[in-house]
């Protein structure tokens, strides 16, 4: 076991000694090498969540039993430069699941909650031309890293629902999606926060004419922290991406949203839009939002915006003037704000969770 306050070098050597008796394979050695690039506490992309607590959660889980082949596959599948934390997760892998989805398939993997702890990797491939659904429900009381990598082959469509559950502990969720030529990726996300929840979503539009549509509802109350970082990376011509994340923070919740549109030189004809409207429902809550653009091609259309507002008093009064009690009026407005953020194949479940939380907030 290592402590979260260790330096990168100490972490590296501590991790090495755990391989005593057996020699780390090539991939494991590569991952070990990457540990020295782990994000430092307080670094730009970890400004609002303590990365050390995630390390601890990862390292305290059941120790890694992954084969060198699995480690190598994970390192190759996602962007380790952008997410060096993958290396730490790879060394701790507790389970690896690979699934191929054909036309009409619907996959509902076992909820993360059942897996309790450790690092879990799910790889999903949607076959060429197939339309499929993926439904993930999660939340855990302890520490967890869940990496989901998705590959959409040419012309594939995936309707993907992701929802966290209440009372989650420390969790890192990384979703890395590669969308091939003419493929469509639709994401519907609900996050309910947790002691420390960090959600990274990395959409790479790798084939021409690929499309990604993301909607999200981020609710953060109690003393929870919810840190959500979305990257839309356009690597090929004529791709479209749209992301709309609605954030609500209440009580002493601390909600963070980072949205980055990254257009590579190959991304001519890109159309990318990212919006993050937020409602701050209590003075004690906190919302941090930061839109970022990184563009290396002139032939693109981008729109990018974030707002933080409060519940509109005039709207509350308008509803009350028609006989709707104050708490119901507030609940109606909060649900209205979330609006069409709750769609997709798991809409009913997500709506139930959201309504329960919003009702709790307005009582």
Partner 1 sequence: MLEISNLSASVGSKAIIDGLTLGVPAGEVHAIMGPNGSGKSTLANVLSGRPGYTVTGGSLKLGETDLNELEPEERAIAGLFLAFQYPTEIPGVSNMEFLKAAIDAQRAARDEEPLDASSFIRQARATAKELDLDPNFLKRGVNEGFSGGEKKRNEILQLLMLQPKLAILDETDSGLDIDALQVVAEGVNRFRAPDHAILLVTHYQRLLDYIKPDRVHVLAGGKIIKSGGPELALELEERGYGWLTDN
Interacting residue with partner 1 among 39, 328, 343, 355 (CB under 8 A): 328
Cα separations in angstroms, 61 against 56, 86, 110, 144, 322: 9, 15, 18, 8, 54
Q: Is residue 309 at the binding interface for partner 1, with CB under 8 A as the rule?
A: no
Q: Is residue 350 at the binding interface for partner 1, with CB under 8 A as the rule?
A: no
Return the range that interacts with partner 1 (CB under 8 A); candidates 28-36, 99-107, 182-190, 331-339: 331-339
- End-to-end CA gap in the chain: 44
Count of chain residues binding partner 1 (CB under 8 A): 23
Interacting residue with partner 1 among 337, 344, 353, 362 (CB under 8 A): 337
Interacting residue with partner 1 among 5, 312, 352, 360 (CB under 8 A): 312
CA-based R_g, the chain, Å: 21
Return the range that interacts with partner 1 (CB under 8 A); candidates 140-148, 267-275, 284-292, 328-336: 328-336
81 or 321: whose CB is closer to partner 1? 321
User: Measured between alpha carbons, how far is 138 from 134 in angstroms, rounded to an integer?
Assistant: 13
Query: Rounded to the nearest whole angstrom, what is the least distance from the CB of residue 334 to partner 1 in the complex?
Result: 9
Query: Rounded to the nearest whole angstrom, what is the least distance from the CB of residue 335 to partner 1 in the complex?
Result: 8
Return the range that interacts with partner 1 (CB under 8 A); candidates 94-102, 170-178, 179-187, 332-340: 332-340
DSSP code of 87? H
Provide the angle, in degrees to the nearest 10, between the axes of the packed helices 68-77 and 26-34: 50
Q: Is residue 335 at the binding interface for partner 1, with CB under 8 A as the rule?
A: yes
Query: Rounded to the nearest whole angstrom, what is the least distance from the CB of residue 229 to partner 1 in the complex?
Result: 26
Query: Rounded to the nearest whole angstrom, what is the least distance from the CB of residue 313 to partner 1 in the complex?
Result: 7
User: Measured between alpha carbons, how far is 226 from 204 in angstroms, rounded to an integer?
Assistant: 23
Q: Is residue 317 at the binding interface for partner 1, with CB under 8 A as the rule?
A: yes
The answer to whether the CB of 346 falls within 8 A of the CB of 188 is yes
Interacting residue with partner 1 among 192, 333, 350, 353 (CB under 8 A): 333
301 or 326: whose CB is closer to partner 1? 326
User: Measured between alpha carbons, how far is 200 from 258 in angstroms, rounded to an integer?
Assistant: 9
Q: Is residue 342 at the binding interface for partner 1, with CB under 8 A as the rule?
A: no
Query: Residue 5: in which H helix or E strand, if any?
Result: none
User: Measured between alpha carbons, how far is 237 from 263 in angstroms, rounded to an integer?
Assistant: 10
144 or 331: whose CB is closer to partner 1? 331
Q: Is residue 339 at the binding interface for partner 1, with CB under 8 A as the rule?
A: yes
Place of tokens 């499309």: 211
For residues 75, 79, 84, 87, the Cα torsion angle rounded to the nearest 10 degrees is -10
Residue 106 sits at φ, ψ, to 5 deg, of: -135, 120
Query: Rounded to the nearest whole angstrom, what is the least distance from the CB of residue 215 to partner 1 in the complex?
Result: 13
The answer to whether the CB of 141 falls within 8 A of the CB of 114 is no
Residue 52 sits at φ, ψ, to 5 deg, of: -60, -35
Query: Rounded to the nearest whole angstrom, what is the least distance from the CB of residue 327 to partner 1 in the complex?
Result: 10
Q: Which residues bind partner 1 (CB under 8 A)?
A: 312-315, 317-326, 328-329, 332-333, 335-339
């Amino acid at each position: 076991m290592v402590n979260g306050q260790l330096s990168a070098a100490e972490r590296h050597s501590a991790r090495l000694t755990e391989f005593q008796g057996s020699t780390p394979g090539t991939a494991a050695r590569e991952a070990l090498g990457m540990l020295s690039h782990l994000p430092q506490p307080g670094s730009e992309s970890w400004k609002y969540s303590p990365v050390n607590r995630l390390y601890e959660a990862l390292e305290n889980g059941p120790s890694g039993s992954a084969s060198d082949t699995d480690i190598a596959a994970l390192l190759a599948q996602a962007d380790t430069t952008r997410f060096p934390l993958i290396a730490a997760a790879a060394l701790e892998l507790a389970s690896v699941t690979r699934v191929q989805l054909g036309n009409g398939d619907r996959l509902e993997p076992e909820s993360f909650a059942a897996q309790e702890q450790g690092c879990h990797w799910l790889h999903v491939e949607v076959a060429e031309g197939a339309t499929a659904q993926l439904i993930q429900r999660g939340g855990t009381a302890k520490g967890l890293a869940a990496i989901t990598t998705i590959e959409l082959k040419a012309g594939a469509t995936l309707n993907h629902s992701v929802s966290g559950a209440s009372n989650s502990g420390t969790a890192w969720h990384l979703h890395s999606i590669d969308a091939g030529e003419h493929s469509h990726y639709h994401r519907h996300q609900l996050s309910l926060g947790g002691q420390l929840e960090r959600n990274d979503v990395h959409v790479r539009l790798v084939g021409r004419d690929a499309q990604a549509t993301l909607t999200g509802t981020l609710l953060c109350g109690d003393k929870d922290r919810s840190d959500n970082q979305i990257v839309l990376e356009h690597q090929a011509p004529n791709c479209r991406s749209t992301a709309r994340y609605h954030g609500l923070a209440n009580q002493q919740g601390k909600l963070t949203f980072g949205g980055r549109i990254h257009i590579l030189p190959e991304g001519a004809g890109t159309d990318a839009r990212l919006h993050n409207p937020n409602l701050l429902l209590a003075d004690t809550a906190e919302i941090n939002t930061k839109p970022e653009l990184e563009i290396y091609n002139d032939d693109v259309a981008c729109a990018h915006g974030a707002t933080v507002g409060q519940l509109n008093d005039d709207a509350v009064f308008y509803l009350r003037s028609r006989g709707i009690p104050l708490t119901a009026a507030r609940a109606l407005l909060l649900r209205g704000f979330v609006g069409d953020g709750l769609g997709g194949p798991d809409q009913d479940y997500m709506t139930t969770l959201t309504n329960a939380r919003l009702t709790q907030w307005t009582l």
